Amino acid sequence: MLNENHRDLTNKMSDSDFIGVLGVTNVSDVAMTITVATVSLYLMMGVGVYLMCPSLILQVYFKFAVLWSGMKVKFASPDGKFHFCYGEKGHQREGSVSLLLLHGFTADHFMWTPVVKRIPSSVHVIALDSPGHGGSSEPEEGDLDYSSQVKMIRQFVELIGLDKQPFHIVGLSMGAALGGLFAAEYPQLVKKLTLSCPSMITPTPSPFAAELRQHHEDGKDFDVTNCILLPQNGAEVQEMLNFSRFYKTYFPYQILQGAADIRIKKNDFYLKLFLCITHQRNTLEDNLQKVKVPVQLIWGKEDKIIDLSGIDALKTGLPKVDRVDIIPECGHAITLDQPGTYTQVIMDYWAGRETTHT
């Protein structure tokens, strides 16, 4: 009987009765209540993700930043096993020079987002993830040296058809060293070359280079626990950022830890790569005279990783330096410290303006 009465009562309840059950007085209040409850639920979920899995928040941010820059993430494979990952903006056009961007050690195409979003959409841009970085497959251990990496870049540009006409390479740090060596090996493919604080031994050692040298002289083993470029936790990520940048920006610890969680998965590979490229002999400095293409040099004036004195060595050794840009209030992480100025001087050189700024 109780169930029947209850069923009858329920069947007779009006909309206003249901609203009363919810504790509100009109339909708009119902909508507001549902909205607030939904937002609260998402906020609680967001707080939970922030506290428990901050790396997920960062990964979502990276994807949105890449899309915001105008790049689309793509993959190309020469054999169905090894995959190159890259970001692309615009389209290759006959008579227009494409830009090939090569990132630094432990970075990927995301590093270029502050630059790419400032480049006009009419310019074709490719930002490659070096093997083992970002979404690109990890190379065999015997293919970590610069020469092998240069060959893989050659394979990549042929694979996507970028080699149909000469292009402009822009490299930063390790990417600049690779770009220089690529231009030395394949000059017919390179229209211009922009070297931004390339990895090299400079006349005056940087603080980072001096520390490495001291570590070697002390006979200590080098591993992920004593390299500032291979942070193991949030505090070490902040230390790395402070060391590589002129401007000090402090981030919430959870975000820093999320960055560490993402990077630490590849630290064993990064260490192998670092040891390989810092002990090899076929370096950019060994091949300067072979770089016959026009060159632009860019450096952050406050670089603590690759010393500014590298400019003098490159100006002396390279056959054709068109332009030198020293950016004030800027460390090694040029794309973070001065993305606007950096993009401007790159695009000035791309467009043919060869004025030197020091």
Find all residues with CB under 8 Å of 288, minimum gap 6, and list them. 180, 314, 317, 318
Active-site residue, from 69, 98, 173, 199: 173
Rounded-to-integer distance, Cα 263 and Cα 12, Å: 61
Residue 203 DSSP symbol:
S
- Which residue type, as a one-letter code, is found at position 212? L
The region that residue 70 occupies, defined by phi over 0 for left and psi between -120 and 50 for alpha, beta otherwise, is left
Nearest to 148 by CA among 178, 168, 171: 178
Residue keyed to tokens 């009006």: 14
Is residue 109 flagged as an active site residue?
Answer: no
Residue 266 DSSP symbol:
T
Rounded-to-integer distance, Cα 225 and Cα 168, Å: 37
* DSSP track, 272-314: HHHHHHHH-S--SGGGGGG--S-EEEEEETT-SSS-TTHHHHH
Buried b (16+ CB within 10 A) or exposed e, 318-340: beebbbbbbbeebbbbbbbbbbe
Find all residues with CB under 8 Å of 358, minimum gap 6, and list them. 324, 325, 326
Active-site residue, from 168, 244, 332, 337: 332
Instruction: Enter the tokens of residue 9.
Output: 């009562």
Active-site residue, from 196, 206, 244, 303: 303
Is residue 332 flagged as an active site residue?
Answer: yes
Name the E strands within 90-184: 99-102, 125-128, 167-172
Is residue 29 flagged as an active site residue?
Answer: no
Find all residues with CB under 8 Å of 92, minimum gap 6, and list them. 98, 124, 161, 162, 164
Buried b (16+ CB within 10 A) or exposed e, 225-259: eebbbbbeebebbbebbbbbbbeeeeeeebbbbbb
- Enumerate the active-site residues: 173, 303, 332
